[in-house]
Every structure is written in C-alpha cells, then in structure tokens.
Amino acid sequence: MTNEELQVLVEDLSLKYFKKPFRHIAFFNPRLRTTGGRYMLNSHNIEINKLYFAELGIDELVGIIKHELCHYHLHLEGKGYKHRDRDFRNLLKHVDAPRFCSVLPGAKKKRESRLVRAYRCSNCGLIYKRKRRIDTSKYVCGKCRGKLVEEKC
C-alpha cells in the first residue's frame, strides 16, 4: 500500500464512520517503532506505522486509522481528544475503534528474551531471580559468598 492509497483509505473511513471529511495528510512513517499511529496536534496530519499493515493486515490498519481519526476530529472540534477524556472514550466505542493497537509479533520476541533468569548459590542454595544476565565470575552470593550458578528454566 502506498501513501496515496492510505490517504484515500483515511478519507473514506472518515466519511463512513465520522460523517466528516479528513482535510489533512495521512502517510506511512517508517521511523515509528512502538506505536501503530500518531496524530500530530500542530499539523493535524496522521502518521501510520507500515509494519502493522505488513504483519497484521488491513483490519488492524483500519482500527489504527479509526483511533487516530478520533483524536483528529475531537481535537478540531475543541473536545477532549486525549486517551483519558470521556469524549474520546465514547467516540472510540461509537465507531468501534481499539483503545490500544495490538503487539507486533516481532516485539513479542524481544519481550521473551527478557524472561526472568535464576541463579542458585552452589554453597547455601539461595536462588536469585534477575531480568538481566549477571556475570557469575564477578558476583557471589550475598548471604554466604558462595559461587553463583545459572539455573536452567
């Protein structure tokens, strides 16, 4: 999908669900990493993360666009456009837009690498749980000064 096709899709969804025209620019921003889309308060443009379309499909893209259009239309009308505002939450429900976008499959792999690691003292058996890997040649048990051994999880 190109930026021109995205622009047409956003304009169509705006008319279909909000009964109001979208008069600004919507485009794919390749620098977006942690979010599906972004509404810019100053320029009123909408930026979309293309990875969500590539990995999760058109349904996820439509949900992200509807979410950003809620920000857009409420901001232009002078109503509460932030996530915590009642106007925003009511409009999300009305147009059946998601409050949060789904997690990308690639991001799940990153999170899984941050699983809890367990280290056991070879002397007293005390178990230490850590998210980060520790250097067992540098650190010892805080209770008995014994050698730490990484446990298989």
Helix axes 3-13, 58-77, angle to 10 degrees: 60
Beta strands in 2-153 (DSSP E): 26-28, 37-39, 46-48, 117-121, 127-130, 148-150
User: Which one of 68, 77, 112, 151 is the catalytic residue?
Assistant: 68
CA gap 58, 61 in Å, rounded: 5
Largest CA distance in the chain: 71
Give the length of the chain.
Answer: 153
Told to judge if 68 belongs to the known catalytic residues of this protein, a careful annotator would answer yes
CA gap 118, 111 in Å, rounded: 17
Tokens of 31: 């620098």
What number of H helices and E strands is found in the chain?
5, 6
Q: Which residues are catalytic?
A: 68
